[in-house]
Structure 1
Amino acid sequence: MLSVSSRANRWWWDGNADDYQVEHGGFLRDTGFVWCPEGLDEAEAGLLGEVRGRRVLEIGCGAAQCARWLAAQGAEVAAFDVSHRQLQHARRIDLDTGLRVPAVQADAEAMPFAGASFDVACSAFGALPFVADPGAVFREVRRVLRPGGRFVFSVSHPVRWAFPDDPGPRGLTSDRSYFDRSPYVERDEHGTPTYIEHHRTLGDWVGLLVASGLTITGLLEPEWPEGHDRVWGGWSPLRGRHLPGTAIFSCART
């Protein structure tokens, strides 16, 4: 059974997938692996290591742009997302590019894959900010990875929670506690949650990963690159010069 968070976010992404792909699809590219609004590209970063001949799982794939790039590099890829509409966009891009990615609709807290079936798992802002129990996701990741497998995921940098989600000067002044874990919730006229995003501190993320049995091997906070003038929600060149926008965790399944 889906949690309240999963139900709300499935509904939200089904309703907003079209606008999301129109607004961000060009930046993400149909066969591109962009980790974050800062534009860090896996082709240059190499956070996943050599993927040719490896079985790779993308968690919260959206329209599967990252998975499609991995397939083009010779990986054997599977992907999933909670949103049916996002997966329809994935199928559309499959047909446009001729590069098909096997993708299913599923919840990250209960992955429909056999244990020890992947060498690598990855998630670029997929699933983890939107689930009520990220520890369950990490335990599922550990379950589906083979011993020695690698897991890399990106999320909004936790420090951003203490600042307004505003790309302008207002977004440079903290107006709430970093330590307030209350989720951000949007509701419809009946009070039913229609969007939920959860906050964890850096210490929370570390503790959850350790408790799941995964080993943290790296933490990257991408700097805003010179000449990158794209605004994406609360991300902007102005804020990027002062505050980290993204945290990318690299982990291993020992």
Structure 2
Amino acid sequence: MNIVDYNSKAWDRNVEKKNRWTIPVDREAIQKAKNGKWEIYVTPTKPVPKEWFPPLKGLKVLCLASGGGQQGPVLAAAGAEVTVFDNSVEQLKQDRFVAEREGLVIRTVKGDMRDLRIFDNETFDLIIHPVSNLFVDDVLPVWKESSRVLKKGGSLISGFMNPVFYLFDWELEEQGKLEVRYPIPYSDLAHLTEKQIEHQLNHCIPLEFGHSLEDQIKGQIESGFVITGFYEDDFGGKRLLDKYIHTFIATKAFKPFHTTFAAPGDSLKKEV
């Protein structure tokens, strides 16, 4: 199956379901951002440290796989020149909704986070990439393309899943039991039963992939980044695993001035 197309439609459906990552920020958050008091999240509960950001005024920012009307509008209100890139049309509509409501300028582009060919080399000063690369089966192109479109001296701020989350049987975990069942790297398509996959497809639930820490962290390093910031997060006590380990990771990566990058990807994108 075409995972990119399926997850695009699944996230369109998540907007209808009002998933927490699809709820646009309110007017109060935008007003605070205009007054210099802002924060964004790339993991569920901890805001990204302010010291991870350069001055935002006039900064060219790419919010990568970051639709939903959350990070992009806040950064735009704080003075950045924002492009939101996402695989879901409905998620991008949330960003345009906030932009129209608040008089902000935000460019929205639909496409696969692994292929940013619509953007020239060294286009952006900062990339914001919240927890979303679990929805592609190969994360390495995400880091390579991010490196290519980021200017030398720029930063990539990312959130992603600790793969330990995917070790356990989710259904049992929700019942209060921890049972190791799956290997890492993890894939819904490879490791769920036919009945479980059929349930996800029938209910338009996004397909997920648990990438190794080697691909998540070493993948950034081998794409030319130097990791300069790190923190962990969890579901805010809403999951059993929160009692034992943080299941989210955030990193800040810097692109040195001597970095080289690969050629752009092959597939086409479209601006919406």
TM-score, normalised with respect to structure 1:
0.80
**Does structure 1 conserve the Cα–Cα contact (< 8 Å) formed by 2:147 and 2:223?**
yes
Q: Distance in 1 between matches of 2:174 and 2:245?
A: 12
Which of 245, 248, 251 matches 1:249?
Answer: 251
Structure 1 match to 2:5:
7
Shift of 1:196: 2.0
Matched, 1:201 2:209: no
Which of 149, 155, 176 matches 2:154?
Answer: 149
Q: Distance in 1 between matches of 2:171 and 2:238?
A: 9
**Does structure 2 conserve the Cα–Cα contact (< 8 Å) formed by 1:159 and 1:201?**
no
- 1:243 aligned counterpart, secondary structure: coil
Matched, 1:54 2:59: yes
CA shift in 2, pair 1:29/1:175, >3 Å:
same
RMSD of Structure 2 on Structure 1 (CA): 2.9
Shift of 1:199: 1.0
Q: Deviations over 1:191-212 (max 9, x none)?
A: 8997321111223322222222
Q: Distance in 1 between matches of 2:225 and 2:121?
A: 15
Q: Distance in 1 between matches of 2:21 and 2:172?
A: 16
Q: Distance in 1 between matches of 2:176 and 2:67?
A: 27
Q: Distance in 1 between matches of 2:91 and 2:174?
A: 33
Q: Distance in 2 between matches of 1:240 and 1:96?
A: 37
Amino acid at match of 1:36: T
Amino acid at match of 1:197: E
- 1:251 aligned counterpart, secondary structure: strand
How many residue pairs get aligned? The number is 236
**Does structure 1 conserve the Cα–Cα contact (< 8 Å) formed by 2:135 and 2:208?**
yes
Matched, 1:221 2:232: yes
- 1:119 aligned counterpart, secondary structure: strand
Q: Distance in 2 between matches of 1:66 and 1:171?
A: 33
- Identity among equivalent positions (%) equals 24
Q: Distance in 1 between matches of 2:64 and 2:11?
A: 15
Matched, 1:119 2:121: no
Q: Distance in 1 between matches of 2:219 and 2:91?
A: 28
Q: Distance in 2 between matches of 1:35 and 1:247?
A: 9
Shift of 1:19: 1.3
Amino acid at match of 2:157: V
Which of 129, 132, 155 matches 2:134?
Answer: 129
Q: Distance in 2 between matches of 1:124 and 1:131?
A: 14
CA shift in 2, pair 1:36/1:148, >3 Å:
same
Task: Could you list the structure 1 runs, at least 4 aligned residues long, displaced by more than 4 angstroms after superposition.
Answer: 23-26, 166-172, 186-189, 191-194
Using the TM superposition, name which of 157-166 and 243-252 deviates more: 157-166
Using the TM superposition, name which of 207-216 and 160-169 deviates more: 160-169
Structure 2 match to 1:210:
221
Matched, 1:36 2:43: yes
> Structure 1 regions of 5+ residues with no counterpart?
229-234
Structure 2 match to 1:90:
95
Q: Distance in 1 between matches of 2:50 and 2:75?
A: 14
**Does structure 2 conserve the Cα–Cα contact (< 8 Å) formed by 1:52 and 1:73?**
yes
Shift of 1:171: 5.1
Q: Deviations over 1:108-133 (max 9, x none)?
A: 1111211101111011113x111122
